Amino acid sequence: MTAVETFDNFIDGEWRASATGRTYEKRNPFRPQEVVGAFPASDEGDVEAAVGAAANAYRSWSTMAPQQRGAVLVGASELIAARVDSIAAEMTAEMGKPLRESRGEVARGAETLRFCAGETWRAVGEIFSNSTTGSQIQAIRRALGVVGLITPWNFPWSIPLWKAAPALAYGNTVVLKPAQEAPLTALRMAECFADAGIPAGVFNVVIGRGSEIGTPLVTHPKVRAVSFTGSGPVGHQVRDLAAAHGKRVQLELGGHSPLIVLADADLARASEAAYSGAFWSAGQKCTATRRIYVHEAVYDEFRTLLLERIRRGVVGDPTHLDTEVGPLVNKTQMEDVLGAVERGRSEGGSIAAGGTALDGEGFLVPPTVFENVDDDAYLSREEVFGPVTSLYPIDSLEEAIERANGTAYGLSASLFTRDLASVNRFVAGVEAGVLRINAATAGGEPHVPFGGSKASGYGPREQGRAAREFYTESVTVYLND
Ligand code: NAD
């Protein structure tokens, strides 16, 4: 039996065990007998140490030439690019994402850092003239201070990084609380920053239960802002607590993304996008395709193509490079998904593919497709965080848009068509923060805004130049000599 490696928090430039002395084991969701590592079960004291370190580091980090901060980010991006394979392999081991997607996610992180490093060379404000004296008035953007980042397990590299990179570039210091299901990936991120020479205290990682360390982080008097990605109920709790304590707060929450396929669409591409959007990462994406509205003239053809694609798809060991659908992150998640499938059946839905867990130790649920699901049924309304999607026939784009808007969510939506007028109607009519034409509902670029409307988000968008709005504030300087 091999010894289980124990990992520490990263606080004030050092690897530190939790002051509680407690750890928890994280297991591999494909081979649950295999322990990936023992991780700190931190508490309020560890949060206090991390926030204190971040507060001490803030002045020198925020006042150095922005381009020097950018140089640290470039250094980290180069290290990440060189470590893609090892970081991705560990990510796959701890949370089950198929290796080919893990590699893409880690590599994209290097690009996010390069983009944010570039931002440090931009103008920091605008200059106006004083209306009485003609002297200068500057409106500059300035960092906030310590920011708390709370992140989910499903994009354990991208999400922490797309929050941390702009936060750091603009001069904030960071305390990251990653998900308990994916601690190792966050610690590898700290290692990349440390090896790139980030000063002590600028980037800190505290591992532990959300219920134990989330609240101390959100309410800490030295934390100026909280950026949260995760589920709605927890997000709302974080928002209310942060607001009550006078903090800036941003939420990225769940989704229920629709994909609309019109009669003139390229059905081969549309079915491919439906497959990847609904089933890659085992459907554990906030932007996963949960509802597919297909024009009745092409419904049967599209259905056949999708079911054929499912038959060709590879489900299984996420470490194999050809695997497209790996395990769900843990047993509870698998039981939730199977429970939702049961509910889908009991509410009158019929299953065209999948629907039961695969034999074996790993938490594998194959691509599952429902039909005959009512618009007010559970599957049409609630986010089921697994490889489950439903097909609905429609007879016009107008009908599809109305039904696409029928959930509380508004994260992403896709349309497949060759007709520009339909594209324009879709863009004008669909309530979502990310609209994708002839592309899957999932996916995003680091240099453009990302975020959801309605119940999918709260506060300014993330990523691209939009991140500046959240991680800086405006200061007006009346300059007289
Ligand atoms: P979650 O809400 O359970 O956890 C998110 C984070 O919050 C974790 O770090 C968790 O430890 C922490 N947390 C838990 N309780 C807390 C508390 N009381 N106070 C503060 N923090 C607390 O979500 P999850 O299961 O990790 O992630 C899946 C969810 O995330 C899905 O709903 C998915 O749609 C959503 N998500 C949204 C986006 C987006 O950008 N919109 C991206 C990815 C995932």
Could you report the per-residue pLDDT of 306-339, keeping only the tens digit for each? 999 999 999 999 999 999 999 999 999 999 999 9
The residues, any chain, with a CB within 8 Å of residue 177's CB and separated by 6 or more, are 47, 148, 149, 150, 151, 205, 206, 207, 208, 210, 213, 214, 217
pLDDT of residue 2: 72
Share of the chain above pLDDT 70, in %: 100
Average pLDDT over residues 108-116: 98
Q: Would you list the DSSP string of 12-63?
A: TTEEE--TT--EEEEE-SSSTTSEEEEEE---HHHHHHHHHHHHHHHHHHHH
Residues 150-172: tens digit of each pLDDT: 999 999 999 999 999 999 999 99
- 250 pocket-lining for ligand 1 (C-beta < 6 Å): no
C-alpha torsion sign, points 84, 108, 284, 354: negative
Residue 360 has pLDDT above 90, yes or no: no
Torsions phi, psi for 294 (to 5 deg): -120, 130
pLDDT score of 361: 85
Answer yes or no: are the C-beta atoms of 69 and 185 closer than 8 Å: no
| Torsion region of 9: left, alpha or beta (phi above 0 gives left; psi -120 to 50 gives alpha) | beta
Q: Would you state the pLDDT for residue 44?
A: 98
Pocket flag, ligand 1, residue 180 (CB < 6 Å): yes
The continuous run of DSSP H or E covering 467 comes out as helix 467-471
Residue 214 in this model has a pLDDT that exceeds 60 = yes
286 in active site: yes
Residue 211 CB–ligand 1 contact under 6 Å: yes
Relative to the CA of 457, which ligand 1 atom is closest?
41
Per-residue pLDDT at 382 exceeds 90:
yes
Q: What is the mean pLDDT of the chain?
A: 97
**Ligand 1, from 163, 212, 229, 236: best to mutate by most atoms within 8 Å of Cβ?**
229
Sign of CA dihedral 108, 194, 96, 98: positive
Q: What is the pLDDT of residues 223-249, one digit of tens each?
A: 999 999 999 999 999 999 999 999 999
Measure 148 CA to ligand 1 centroid, in angstroms. 14
Quote the pLDDT of residue 471.
98
239 and 228 Cβ atoms separated by less than 8 Å: yes
From the list 90, 101, 252, 324, the catalytic residue is 252
Q: Are 401 and 392 in contact (CB under 8 A)?
A: no
Nearest CA to ligand 1 atom 40: 252
Active site residue 116: no
**Atom number, ligand 1, closest to the C-alpha of residue 230:** 30
pLDDT tens by residue, 191-213: 999 999 999 999 999 999 999 99
Read off the pLDDT of each residue in 429-434 and give the average, rounded to a whole number: 98
For residue 245, the model assigns a pLDDT of: 98
Tokens 């966050």 -> residue: 186
Can you tell me whether residue 269 is helix, strand or coil? helix
Q: pLDDT tens digit string along 27-44?
A: 999 999 999 999 999 999
Question: What DSSP designation does 421 have?
Answer: H
- Confidence band, pLDDT 50/70/90 cuts, at residue 1: low
Residues 49-87 have pLDDT tens digits of 999 999 999 999 999 999 999 999 999 999 999 999 999
Cβ neighbours of residue 102 closer than 8 Å, sequence gap 6 or more: 88, 89, 91, 92, 157, 318
